[in-house]
Structure 1
Amino acid sequence: MRSFLYFLTALAVIGLAAWAYRENHLTQQAMNEHRALEREVASLGNAITIQRTEWAYLNRPDRLRELVDVNFERLLLVPMTADHFGEIGQVAYPLPVLRSDYSTAVEVFGTLDEDAVSEEREP
């Protein structure tokens, strides 16, 4: 009987060791994936920073002014001034549509029976 208990204890220890090894392996794998994702996020953040810097560099007012001057004949761009904007009163808003005939808005599916209505009202 003792040898059987020793055997079961040894099996339990081996089973627990296998389970612990498997969990350790899965944990290491998850940590490696986490590190890889962190590296990818960092590189994408750097790429976004570089693109924002390039965008700011390309949108410098002096550079854009030079491009407008060089391509004036083809694009016909002029500097924007306050004269290019209109007054709020100059905006043409559409007039609201007024309906005087509401008979087409409701469809009738039956007729009203006067007797049925009077029977429902009486307690």
Structure 2
Amino acid sequence: MRTIMFIVTVVGVICVSVWAYQENYSTQRMIKDTERLERQIGVAQARLAVLRAEWAYLNRPDRLRDLADINYNDLQLLPLRPDQFGIVEQVAYPIDESLLGIENATEVSADLDGERP
């Protein structure tokens, strides 16, 4: 009986050792993948920062104004004026639901008093 227990213990230790070995290498592989992904994220963030800087540089108001002046004959672009802007209340929304293209609409309302039935 003692021999069987010894053999079972040795087999158990071997199985646990193989499992631990596999987990160790799996963990190391995941750490390497994570580090690689972090490097890729860093490179992407740096590239995004450069692209944002380029976008800001290309969208300078003075540059866009000069481009609009240069290409006036082709584009017919005029400079923006404050009186060209409006407020939301000035926007005319359609009242007729058939204009919206909504069929079988369900009326939804919220209880603003905070009371629940």
Aligned length: 97
Q: Given the superposition, is the C-alpha separation of residues 67 and 18 from structure 1 closer, same or farther in structure 2, using an over 3 Å criterion?
A: same
The aligned residue for residue 57 of structure 1 is 57
The aligned residue for residue 82 of structure 1 is 82
Code of the residue aligned with 2:22 in structure 1: it is: R
Code of the residue aligned with 2:35 in structure 1: it is: R
Partner Cα distance (1:87, 1:9) in 2: 81
The aligned residue for residue 48 of structure 1 is 48
The aligned residue for residue 13 of structure 2 is 13
After TM superposition, the score normalised by the length of structure 1 is 0.63
Q: Given the superposition, is the C-alpha separation of residues 94 and 28 from structure 1 closer, same or farther in structure 2, using an over 3 Å criterion?
A: closer
Q: CA RMSD in A?
A: 2.9
Identity across matched positions, percent: 43
Code of the residue aligned with 2:76 in structure 1: it is: L
Cα deviation for residue 10 of structure 1 reads 2.1
Cα deviation for residue 70 of structure 1 reads 0.8
Q: Given the superposition, is the C-alpha separation of residues 31 and 65 from structure 1 closer, same or farther in structure 2, using an over 3 Å criterion?
A: same
After TM superposition, the score normalised by the length of structure 2 is 0.65
Partner Cα distance (1:51, 1:44) in 2: 10
| 1:29-65 residue CA offsets vs partner (Å, 9 max, x unmatched) | 1111211221121122112111111100100112111
Partner Cα distance (1:40, 1:88) in 2: 43
Cα deviation for residue 28 of structure 1 reads 1.0
The aligned residue for residue 26 of structure 1 is 26
State which structure, 1 or 2, has the greater radius of gyration over its C-alpha atoms. Answer: 1
Code of the residue aligned with 2:63 in structure 1: it is: R
Q: Given the superposition, is the C-alpha separation of residues 70 and 3 from structure 1 closer, same or farther in structure 2, using an over 3 Å criterion?
A: same
